[in-house]
Structure 1
Amino acid sequence: MSTLRDNWRVILLVIAVLASTFALFSPTVGGQSSVDGQPTAEEDSLTNVKYGLQLNGGTRIRAPLVGITAEDVEFENETDRVVEQQVAAELSGADAADIIARRGAESSTVEVTIENVTTDQLAAALDAAGYSHGEIRDGVTEMTRQDTVRVLQSKINEAGLSGGSVQQVTTATGEHFILIEVPNRDPSSVRELVSERGTVQIDIYYPTTENGSRVYETREAVLTQEDFTSIGTAQEPQTGGGSFVPVSVKDDPAPEFQQAVKETGLAQPGGTRCTYNDDPNATEGCLLLVVNGEVVNAFGMSPNLADSMRNEEWAEAPSFQLQTRNTTEAQQVAINLRAGALPAKLDLSGDDGGTTSFISPTQGESFKSDSLLTGIVAVLAVAGVVFVRYGKPEVALPMIVTGLSEVYVLLGFAAAIGYPLDLSVIAGFIAVIGTGVDDLIIIADEVMAEGSVTSRKVFQSRFRRAFWVIGAAAATTIIAMSPLAVLSLGDLQGFAIFTILGVIVGVLVTRPAYGDILRLLLTEDR
């Protein structure tokens, strides 16, 4: 029992290594991934390590968001939706989906997220709509950038693009970009996915009379993505023919939608029969499903649904089905609804600093082999220096093994959380090897500074002095790397995160364990 208590640091290191082994090789860690139904290289790998774009090959896109923002807008008592509609009505070529009104505790903003709208035009539109405002600047708000990252990540996940990641990055000059990385995909397919804003809304198309003639009007965006509480999966009716997506609507917009259906005549007894696709000028009222500004489907109102709308019962349990022509179309609608619409469009022109790059899978494999070779060379170089410096296997061998176990624990951690390895993370591992062995050399030098040590008490005193130096150096490293780990600076973030993790593992686990090993090997009263 005394032996276990005295050597608990070594036991902790063994436990960490065993846990890393489980994370690296257990089939229960990490999800299985596939692309187009085929297993990826990672799924066929012997380990659970995931590789990023630089080591797997794939596409990287860095692009700013299109938009301008008016600060300090006075909304008064009007809702955000009303503000969006009023401003859109004053801008040529814009609709409510292109305007984002945000009411804030300190400042309210209005953003226009379409191209070719100038700050002067937005100022004129706000003045015409009767809203006072402050400065109008290029770019969108931080909330819009965060929403864009979330939506794009959802789109990538829904599309089954394994390993894809989206993050916001900021340059040293304060410019904001969205960084998208998708392994194993060519640029054209990725650009097609992320360039579409994915707007899905329900419009009401209905006949009315004007000067004695029958004309049609459209009440736009009576329901948008934000109005849905749940989106079902694409299903085929038991009777056959087409597909549908069941949806549920939030309680707040449900009465407004119900009232719009009644006012436009779709809730008439017997419902309506929609023939919009055959002849839009000879149809009864329709609900239009509009995706990315185009009508992809139109359907009438069933008698039961019309009755519940007319009797104002539907809003008590607001749900219905979005009918589509086939399963593929229904699946696409479900993806758009679940992912949500992009708040702003990505500027993929490259004029404002955006870039698109592609790394072939062959080049990625080359990077893997080069990274492995670099790691082996670093380990051999460190081992050679250590043996030359000390010439004692009982000092040098534990030092090398302990240093390598530190990298092994970090690999297990990366596998456990599914963090993809790229060149910056590999550089972090190599830095950990260097700084780790530096600390171990400090321990060995301090312990053996005055010749061999045989007393446990003397060893502990010398080890504590060395550990204070190591702790101070570790704190300095963590403080220096923290800004890189927190700020969204692309590849530097991975390097900083794993360098900090390596320092923490070293101070808490590997350095104390090495001290215990040296004590067992060098002292007589162990």
Structure 2
Amino acid sequence: MSPVSFLKEHWRIVLLVAFISVALVALFVPGGIVADDSLAGENESVDDNPTNIEYGLGLDGGTRVSAPPTGMTADNLDIEHDEQRQVASALYEYDYENTDLETRDATVRFHEEENRFTAEIFTDEVTPAEFAAALESADVGLEVSEDDIEEGVTQQTRDEIIQTIELRINEAGLDGGSAYQEATLGGQYYIVTEVPGMTPDELRDLLSDRGDVRIVAYYPDEDGNQTNETVLQGEGIADSGVASYNDERGYHYVPITVDGTEDEDENSPASEYQAAMNEHGFTGEGQGRCHIQDREADEFDFDPDDPQWCLLTVVDDEVIDAHSMGDGLADNMRTGTWENDPTFEMIVPSQQDAHFLAVNLQSGALTAPLDFERDQTFTLQPALADQFKLYSLLIGGLAVLTVCGMIFLRYRDPRVAAPMFLTAMAEVLILLGFAAAIRMPLDLSHVAGFIAVVGTGVDDLVIIADEVMDEGDVNSRRVFESRFRKAFWIIGAAAATTIIALSPLAVLSLGDLRGFAIITILGVLIGVLITRPAYGDILQRLLTDK
């Protein structure tokens, strides 16, 4: 038989073997299908886990923190597009009693699909009455009362927070972490973050940092007094590199590329940064003149006889480094050529600070802070998680042995029982390979899904075997195929019912139930599309003569 004829006749078995091969590569070859060492945990060695399977909170230990975003919302604002910026400016400039807002603390969004405007404030130091008064102060004819203000933030803001947290987890090299939202019965939304291998304090530290990165110019003004001015913000940074070290000059830094794209109404961040450096004297008399020692001070000591020109690296309003303008950078800015290739090095005092800065730059700032006064924390010690891992393995093995025993008692024919058992195990292997390939962190809910897959899979295989052997031995291939098609319609209908029933659990944010539903649905699809047809081919070869 030629290879083409063999593939044509046994393509279902070949497809099954191909999927098993890919699953084995995803499970056991270092890096899996897609190598991505950047996501490997910093404290996890290759020897700790001989496979590429990642474990979630219930099987690896770690912490889950749920906290609502801080903020208030005013929806359905009656404004025009050309008034959007004016309303946003009014929110920043309003004279609040207990705080002063920065641009990051408020926004006015336009929702194109619903054709409506929404204003949001991301702080708990503003009252609903002040929020309403700030909107009315925009002088665009808005009539907003305290009753129109709702607690919480928009879905778009929550999506941005989740995306930022996921990027922050990945950039920090935290293996198996995830972020998602959950809704309470009262309609309040919580942002849930799970990271294996972290303590509650470590995870809160990761989430409590807003991640707002700025470059602040500290220089003498026209009156000779030292003043601060933000000259570059995180949104003006187009790209950033990894934490690096300059061996020649002995300092830690993160390479930065500033956005050189000009807006219709504004100059590019690169040209504005260059202009500010020239205007404030950093490229002239202030070049190299920064001697600040106490970088953690809120206010720096100032000697009028020794003015300072310092560039402060500020993260979440905390100064992490202060340094002067370098010679080469100053020359390029003075001649106006720097904005054509707007790159520089953001210097920090230590490797840890450089890594922290790189993570914040890569992930961006949280749109709104999380309210940790109302957080819910769950933590599991690694030792207990290891016990769960062992128990899960024992329960899975017991389920397999039970299935094997029942198959043998039912048929007592190795031609039927052996392929049935091997096909069911192949289904589990393919599922594990899929989880390893997409880096799905397996948890206790997923283990329950695997056990359910084994049970439902064997049920379908029993239906196939019983249907084709219903009237005794079958020797004709034509008769076998007729009976197999009838059985396949039955298991296809059952699979469709299972998928429809579990789909809401897979889509909705229902915690552990979602993992169970996803694994079960994937197992059903793999069974119907790959393993069940292959089992039929194998059974046909063993039971028919022609």
| TM norm structure 1 | 0.88
More displaced stretch, 422-431 vs 261-270: 261-270
| Equivalent position of 1:48 in the other structure | 52
Q: How does 1:125-524 map to 2 (within 5 A)?
A: 125-130=134-139, 132=142, 135-171=148-184, 174-208=187-221, 214-220=224-230, 222-237=231-246, 240=249, 242-251=251-260, 252-266=268-282, 268=284, 271=287, 273-275=289-291, 277=293, 279-280=301-302, 282=304, 283-302=307-326, 305=329, 309=333, 312-349=336-373, 351=374, 354-524=375-545
| Equivalent position of 1:7 in the other structure | 10
Q: Does structure 2 conserve the Cα–Cα contact (< 8 Å) formed by 1:57 and 1:361?
A: yes
Q: Does structure 1 conserve the Cα–Cα contact (< 8 Å) formed by 2:251 and 2:349?
A: yes
Q: Does structure 2 conserve the Cα–Cα contact (< 8 Å) formed by 1:202 and 1:223?
A: yes
- Quote the sequence identity (%): 46
- State the 1:378 CA deviation: 1.7
- State the 1:409 CA deviation: 1.4
Per the alignment, do residues 193 and 386 of structure 1 end up closer, same or farther by CA in structure 2, a change over 3 Å counting?
same
Amino acid at match of 1:256: E
Deviation readout 1:46-85 (Å, 9 max, x if unpaired): 32222111111111112221111222443753675x7555
- State the 1:194 CA deviation: 1.4
Q: Does structure 2 conserve the Cα–Cα contact (< 8 Å) formed by 1:49 and 1:414?
A: yes
Paired with 1:407 and 1:315, the residues of 2 have a C-alpha distance of: 56
More displaced stretch, 309-318 vs 91-100: 309-318
Q: Does structure 2 conserve the Cα–Cα contact (< 8 Å) formed by 1:269 and 1:306?
A: no
More displaced stretch, 7-16 vs 493-502: 7-16
Q: Does structure 1 conserve the Cα–Cα contact (< 8 Å) formed by 2:292 and 2:322?
A: yes
Paired with 1:245 and 1:48, the residues of 2 have a C-alpha distance of: 31
Paired with 1:129 and 1:414, the residues of 2 have a C-alpha distance of: 52
Per the alignment, do residues 259 and 84 of structure 1 end up closer, same or farther by CA in structure 2, a change over 3 Å counting?
farther
Per the alignment, do residues 398 and 178 of structure 1 end up closer, same or farther by CA in structure 2, a change over 3 Å counting?
same
Q: Does structure 2 conserve the Cα–Cα contact (< 8 Å) formed by 1:99 and 1:113?
A: yes
More displaced stretch, 14-23 vs 440-449: 14-23
* Count of equivalent residues: 515
Per the alignment, do residues 328 and 366 of structure 1 end up closer, same or farther by CA in structure 2, a change over 3 Å counting?
closer
More displaced stretch, 58-67 vs 151-160: 151-160
Amino acid at match of 2:9: D
Mind listing any 5+ residue stretches in structure 1 that lack a counterpart? none
Amino acid at match of 1:185: M
Amino acid at match of 1:205: Y
Secondary structure at the counterpart of residue 182 of structure 2: strand
Tell me whether 1:77 sits opposite 2:109 in the alignment.
no
Candidates 78, 83, 101, aligned match of 1:94: 101
RMSD: 2.9
Amino acid at match of 1:471: G
Q: Does structure 2 conserve the Cα–Cα contact (< 8 Å) formed by 1:432 and 1:503?
A: yes
- State the 1:395 CA deviation: 2.3
Deviation readout 1:339-395 (Å, 9 max, x if unpaired): 21111112222x3xx311111111111111111121122222223333333343332
- State the 1:6 CA deviation: 3.1
- State the 1:157 CA deviation: 2.5
- State the 1:514 CA deviation: 1.7
Paired with 1:204 and 1:516, the residues of 2 have a C-alpha distance of: 74
Paired with 1:245 and 1:366, the residues of 2 have a C-alpha distance of: 42
Per the alignment, do residues 102 and 315 of structure 1 end up closer, same or farther by CA in structure 2, a change over 3 Å counting?
farther
Q: Does structure 2 conserve the Cα–Cα contact (< 8 Å) formed by 1:98 and 1:113?
A: yes
| Equivalent position of 2:263 in the other structure | none
Q: Does structure 2 conserve the Cα–Cα contact (< 8 Å) formed by 1:394 and 1:521?
A: yes
Deviation readout 1:98-133 (Å, 9 max, x if unpaired): 223334432333321122323222111222233537
Deviation readout 1:258-295 (Å, 9 max, x if unpaired): 44445545455564723455624643444332211123
Q: Does structure 2 conserve the Cα–Cα contact (< 8 Å) formed by 1:305 and 1:314?
A: yes
- State the 1:451 CA deviation: 2.9
| Equivalent position of 1:63 in the other structure | 67
Q: Does structure 2 conserve the Cα–Cα contact (< 8 Å) formed by 1:269 and 1:307?
A: no
Candidates 109, 116, 119, aligned match of 2:128: 119
Paired with 2:124 and 2:473, the residues of 1 have a C-alpha distance of: 75
Paired with 2:28 and 2:253, the residues of 1 have a C-alpha distance of: 42
Per the alignment, do residues 28 and 338 of structure 1 end up closer, same or farther by CA in structure 2, a change over 3 Å counting?
closer
Paired with 1:299 and 1:507, the residues of 2 have a C-alpha distance of: 64
Q: Does structure 1 conserve the Cα–Cα contact (< 8 Å) formed by 2:286 and 2:308?
A: no
| Equivalent position of 1:26 in the other structure | 29
Paired with 2:322 and 2:143, the residues of 1 have a C-alpha distance of: 40
Paired with 1:330 and 1:3, the residues of 2 have a C-alpha distance of: 59
Q: Does structure 2 conserve the Cα–Cα contact (< 8 Å) formed by 1:70 and 1:133?
A: no
| TM norm structure 2 | 0.85
Paired with 1:517 and 1:348, the residues of 2 have a C-alpha distance of: 58
Q: Does structure 2 conserve the Cα–Cα contact (< 8 Å) formed by 1:69 and 1:110?
A: yes
Amino acid at match of 1:46: P
Q: Does structure 1 conserve the Cα–Cα contact (< 8 Å) formed by 2:449 and 2:520?
A: yes
- State the 1:479 CA deviation: 2.2
Q: Does structure 2 conserve the Cα–Cα contact (< 8 Å) formed by 1:85 and 1:95?
A: no
Paired with 1:390 and 1:235, the residues of 2 have a C-alpha distance of: 65
Deviation readout 1:138-195 (Å, 9 max, x if unpaired): 1112222222222222222232322222223345654322221111222111111111
Q: Does structure 1 conserve the Cα–Cα contact (< 8 Å) formed by 2:59 and 2:388?
A: yes
Paired with 2:208 and 2:498, the residues of 1 have a C-alpha distance of: 40
Secondary structure at the counterpart of residue 71 of structure 1: strand
